[in-house]
Amino acid sequence: MRFISARKQYSTYAKTGLLGLALISLASCSSGDSTTPVVTSSGSAALQGPIVFVNNTTSKSLTSVALKGDSGNAVLGSIDTAEFEKVALGDMQFSEGEWVFLNLGAADKVATIDPLTNAQPVHEVNLVAGTRPVHVYRDTTDGEIMWVMNDGDNQNGPAVAGDDTINCATQTGGSVTIIHNSHLGLGAVPPSVIKTECLLADGHKVAAFSSGAGVPKKAFISSTTAGEIAVIGNDPAIPAEYQKLIARIDLCIDAGETLNGQGACDVNANTANVPNTSNKSNPHGIRFSKQTGKIYSIQENYRTIVEIDPATLAITKTFDLSTASYTGFGISPNGRFLLLRGSIAAPAATKFGVIDLGTAGTPLTDLVTPEQDGTLPSSGGSFKFSPDGNRLYVLAGNAATAAKRDRLFAYDSSTLPALTLLSEIQLALSGAHSFDILAQGTGAATFVVVSNSTHNSISIINATNNQVKQTVPDIGATGSTLGGVMVYAAGTAAAGNQATSSLTGGSAAAPSVLPERLDDHGMPE
C-alpha cells in the first residue's frame, strides 16, 4: 500500500482520541451551526462536524465542504486528481470505522480517505480492488467491512459473457473484493484487502445483505449480463462458507425469455464452481426487507420482482409488473414497503407505486402524484428515504423531454402506502443534480444537500422547513461540472443514520458511466 506521507502512516494509530472528540461534536450539531474544526491536544487539527464530499467530474477531483447548518457552510479543500491516478471518480461510501471509500473504475482501485485526522480530509492510499470496481457497500452485519463490486473488463463486449480473466483466471466473470478497516480501539490499522472472490458471472453488479433474528447472514449479488444472483456466505460462525461463493440463483424463466425474443431456458447447475448460461432477465436492483426477512430483486427485461428466501435460496414469490411502467424500486427503512418508480410517456410524468409487504396478498397500489407531471425519472431522477422513514425526497430528472426540471420534492412518507407532498423545492438551474441527506439522533432528516452540476455549487436545504438556506458557490474551478454528493458525519454508520436510496442504477450498455451506489450518490441511472 502506498501512503501519501510517512506521517500519515503512523497517524492512524492515534485516531481513537480524535474520533471520540468528533463524536462529541456530532452530538451537539443541530439545525443551526455545527462546530468548526479545532486543534486537539496533540497539536493536529481534527474535523468535527458533518462533511459533504462532492465529485468534480471535470477535474476528476474530490471537494470537501463543512456542513454547518443554515449558514457558514464553506469549502474545506480538494483532493487533486493526481491522488486518484487521474481517472474518473465513481461510487462513494463510508464505514463504521470512519473511513471514506471511493471507487476508481478505470484504475481498477479503491481510494481510501481519512476524514478525521486533519483540518480537511486526507487521501491515504489506493487499494487494488479488481477489474473495473463500480459499486461499494458497507456490510450490514459488520460495518468495518466493505464490499466492492468488480463488474469485469468485458474486453470482448457484452455478447461474450464472463471475460474478466484477471479476477477469475480460467473461471471467467466479475468478482467482489472484500476490504476490512478500523479506526476503533488501540492498534487500529488502515484499510486492507481481505480477499477477492470470483462470481463466475459477467455484467454490472449490485448487492444486498440478509441478517437479523432467525435470518441467515448472506450476501446476494446480482449480475445483469449473466441474469443470476451469486450468494456468498457472510456468517463468521460458519467458516466453511464465510466470504465464499456458496450458490447461484438462475433467474431465467421461459416466459421472460420469450418476451425478449429468446428460446427456452437452459437447465443450470447453480453451483459455486460451474458457470451458468446467461439469460435476458437483466436484474438491476436488489433489496433486503427487515419486515419479511427476504431478498427482493427486480428483473428489468422480464418486468418482474422476485422474492428470495435466504434460508432455502428458493424464489418464494414473483410480482408481475408487466401491466405497469415500473422499472426501478427502493424499500422503506422498516422494510415494509417497496416503492416502485417508472414513467408515463404521454403526458410525460414520473409514476410511483407501492407494494405493501406487511399486508396479506402484498397488494400493489398505483400512487396519484400530479405534482410529478412534466418530470421524468431519467437523467438523475433519484429518490431517498430518511433513516426514520418519515421523509421521502425525489429528485426530478433533467431529461431533455422533461417540462419540469431542477426540482426536489419532499414527501411525508409516514403515510405510506400513500404519499403526502410537503414541498416542491426549486433548485439552481443546472444540467443535473445529485443529493444526499444528513440525519441525526433518531434518524430524522436535518439537512438535504444538492449538487448543481453546471452551476458549480451545492444547495443546503433545511429539512424542517424545506427551504434552501445557502447555495455554496465555486465548489471547483471556473467551468467545473459537479457529479455525485455524499454527506459524511462521524458515528452515522454506527447509528444507522445514513439515508436509503432508490434503485441502484447503472447501465451495462454504457459501462464508462459509473452508476449510482446503493445509497445513490448521484451517478446517472
Average pLDDT over residues 474-488: 94
Poorest-confidence range of 96-100, 288-292, 471-475?
A: 96-100
**Nearest-10 Cα torsion for 306, 375, 382, 290:** -40
pLDDT at 168: 74
With 60 as the cut, is the pLDDT of residue 46 above it? yes
Average pLDDT over residues 458-468: 98
419 touches 441 (CB < 8 A): no
Q: Grade residue 201 by pLDDT with cuts at 50, 70 and 90.
A: confident
SS3 of 439-470: the string is EECCCEEEEEEEEECCCCEEEEEECCCCEEEE
Q: Which three cell numbers stand for residue 476?
A: 471547483
Average pLDDT, the chain: 83
150-186 confidence digits (pLDDT tens): 988 766 665 555 566 666 765 567 899 999 998 776 6
With 60 as the cut, is the pLDDT of residue 374 above it? yes
246-288 confidence digits (pLDDT tens): 999 999 999 999 999 999 998 887 777 777 888 999 998 999 9
With 60 as the cut, is the pLDDT of residue 128 above it? yes
Average pLDDT over residues 443-448: 97
Q: Grade residue 120 by pLDDT with cuts at 50, 70 and 90.
A: confident
Average pLDDT over residues 203-213: 93
Cα–Cα dist 34/490, whole Å: 13
With 50 as the cut, is the pLDDT of residue 232 above it? yes
pLDDT at 19: 31
Average pLDDT over residues 430-446: 94
pLDDT at 28: 30
pLDDT at 30: 33
pLDDT at 269: 74
Poorest-confidence range of 27-31, 63-67, 226-230?
A: 27-31
Give percent of the chain above pLDDT 70: 82
Q: Which three cell numbers stand for residue 342?
A: 417508472
With 80 as the cut, is the pLDDT of residue 471 above it? yes
pLDDT at 174: 86
More confident residue, 187 or 255: 255
Q: Which residue has the cell 457497500?
A: 137
Average pLDDT over residues 382-391: 95
Give percent of the chain above pLDDT 90: 66
pLDDT at 171: 59
More confident residue, 189 or 399: 399
Average pLDDT over residues 194-213: 91
Phi, psi of 166, deg, nearest 5? -75, -50
pLDDT at 10: 30
What are the residue boundaries of the structural domains of the chain, listed by start? 203-323
With 70 as the cut, is the pLDDT of residue 40 above it? no
Q: Grade residue 116 by pLDDT with cuts at 50, 70 and 90.
A: confident
Average pLDDT over residues 91-101: 94
Cα–Cα dist 89/104, whole Å: 5
304-353 confidence digits (pLDDT tens): 999 999 999 999 999 999 888 888 899 999 999 999 999 888 788 999 99
The per-residue DSSP string of 184-245 comes to SSTT----EEEEEEE-S--S-EEEEEE-STT---EEEEEETTTTEEEEEE--TT-TTTBTSE
81-93 confidence digits (pLDDT tens): 999 999 999 999 9
Q: Grade residue 521 by pLDDT with cuts at 50, 70 and 90.
A: very low
353 touches 344 (CB < 8 A): no
Cα–Cα dist 405/370, whole Å: 15
With 90 as the cut, is the pLDDT of residue 520 above it? no
For 372, which DSSP code?
G
pLDDT at 267: 84
pLDDT at 154: 64
Poorest-confidence range of 64-73, 202-211, 285-294?
A: 202-211
